Amino acid sequence: MKKNYRIISTLAMTTMLTGTLAGCGGATAATEAMTAAESPQASYGDYSTEACEEPIMAAPKSAGSSLFDSFAATESACETGYYYDDDYCIVVPEYYNTESYDKPDENGFFLSQGQPLSTFAADVDTASYANVRRMIEDGYGQSGIPMESVRPEEFINYFSYDLKSPKRGEKFGVTTEVSRCPWNEDHELMFVGVKAEDKLDGQLPESNLVFLIDVSGSMDDEDKLGLLKKAFIELVDNLEGEGTVSIVTYASHEKVVLDGADFSDKRKIKSAIKSLEAGGATAGERGMEMAYDIAKENFIDGGNNRIIMATDGDLNVGISDPDELEKFITEKKDQGIYLSVLGFGAGNYKDDKMERLADCGNGNYSYIDSFTEARKVLVEEMTSTLVTVAKDVKFQIEFNPAVVNSYRLIGYENREMDAVDFNNDQKDGGELGSGHTVVALYEIVPSDSKNAIELKYQNAEYSDASDDYATIKIRYKEPEEDKSNLLTYVVGSEVFRENASENLRFAGLVSEFAMLLSDSDYSGSVTYKDIIKGYKELDNTDDYKDEFISLVRMVEKRS
């Protein structure tokens, strides 16, 4: 609850600052603020509108309420525009919102007979889930969450699943399952889980890490630079083995704060992090170039060379051509220097920019909304986040039309590829870190379903493998190689389970939540109450999954 008061105070201050700039002749700053508020991307349901113009306390029960009865004792007393939390009605903050998101149209169904191949790049990003969690915890319901901010695959891949580990000498372990689709009884759900080898046993290889930190004025908030500093200090405290840390900051000017400090010199590294202060515009391009220069100077042959960029994504100065910046990052990736991106903050968060940068840099994209999330990404999942064991990972699933009439990939809209690019080693895929897992779900229409589409003129003769659901092909490259390797796995009829596993059931619940939040055309009659009921039937949960269902309950109460 305190978090909301902090946000409200910050927003109110932002509003006053805008007015002050306009009154003092700061026409440029005032115009920029007005332009941001009027831009098309500034309106996402309730998660936008205008800035707060006065301090906001708890919601009164009625217009005539006194100060002492303005705190609602029951949830039913909360009026529209407020949400209930710990015996209080708290206003949903409204402020200038220039957050930007980009997601293609939702995947539809494809006939297996006409288009049997589904091809996409691996994606282990989790930013979408953490970002939407931030919105929900700030008081927003379904109508206030930008539909474009919801990427189902990042919701699904946020969580851990019980997947097969690779056998000795193998790169991946593959887990497959088919069962009834929870939101459409006439369809089935196919679960594909891939787990990368973990040969590091939780330890980093010799590493050259460069922290590229945005210290522009837009980062001057406790949930931005304040949280960022705590996150990096936690990472440094847990760095072991051999390696160096460098720090480059950028705002109106770029600066090398630290160059090649040894992992063991933790006091020096943490002191440099603590000294960071925000101010100025955001000239990200030159800062990026300097970070890569430092990474090149400290390059470790055969080691882990990675830039970790931390920003709210508001690259508003110095980027004349975003495509050129992405080309630059791609070229550096090909030289063995990878880029991971950590997103912070709210209000002017540029999700679309940061996702593209991480994709170009062979890195992960995570959103840090709390210290708990920082620890999850940078400590608990350190080797997965920071060490690539397979690059340019692509998946191609060939469906058997004798068993699968049609199919729909849930999510991955911005990672889909043309079928011909699967065998093209010049086309980038995704990256998997040590021990990383990636899960994909397909909603399928069985050939004997009443929803199956019958074709009159197509050849009804199929291969001898008439009982197989599909064949999975995986292409990947070793981190220092340019030629891909091909692996093949069959999804046979034996993987069907009348009673779905906990893996599939939980992934299905997460998919339902993402579909409801994004107003999916394919969610059927599922409700938030159905998700809550389904979760109660699970046997194996953890703190992250329990948090998930608490978010579902919050949204259900506000819908």
Across residues 359-372, what is the average pLDDT? 94
What pLDDT score does 98 carry?
82
What pLDDT score does 461 carry?
62
Across residues 105-125, what is the average pLDDT? 96
Counting residues of the chain whose pLDDT is more than 70, the rounded percentage is: 79
What pLDDT score does 314 carry?
72
What pLDDT score does 455 carry?
83
Domains of the chain: 2-91 (no CATH), 110-124+145-200+389-558 (2.60.40.1230), 207-383 (3.40.50.410)
pLDDT at 55 over 50: no
What pLDDT score does 68 carry?
32
**In 3-state terms, the chain is what percent helix, strand and coil (to 5)?**
35, 25, 40
Strands of the sheet containing 254-262, edge to edge, are 254-262, 243-250, 207-214, 304-311, 338-343, 365-367
What single letter denotes the amino acid at residue 159?
A: F
pLDDT in tens, 392-442: 999 999 999 999 999 999 999 999 999 999 999 999 999 999 999 999 999
Across residues 519-544, what is the average pLDDT? 96
Over 169-233, what HEC string results? Answer: CCCEEEEEEEEECCCCCCCEEEEEEEEECCCCCCCCCCEEEEEEEECCHHHCCHHHHHHHHHHHH
pLDDT at 18 over 70: no
What pLDDT score does 69 carry?
35
What's the predicted TM-score (pTM) here? 0.84
What pLDDT score does 171 carry?
97
Across residues 150-158, what is the average pLDDT? 98
Binned at pLDDT 50, 70 and 90, residue 9 comes out as: very low
Mean pLDDT rounded to a whole number for the chain: 84
**For the chain, how many helices (H) and strands (E)?**
14, 18
pLDDT in tens, 159-210: 999 999 999 999 999 999 999 999 999 999 999 999 999 978 767 899 999 9
Across residues 20-36, what is the average pLDDT? 36
pLDDT at 60 over 70: no
pLDDT at 76 over 90: no
What is the Cα Rg of the chain in Å? 24
Rounded Cα gap, residues 304 and 243, in angstroms: 9
Q: End-to-end CA distance of the chain, in Å?
A: 20
Across residues 229-236, what is the average pLDDT? 97
Measuring CA to CA, which residue among 515, 524, 529 is closest to residue 559?
529
Across residues 34-54, what is the average pLDDT? 36
Q: Which two tokens stand for residue 115?
A: 């288009």
What pLDDT score does 353 carry?
87
> What phi and psi values does residue 69 have, to the nearest 5 degrees?
-105, 20
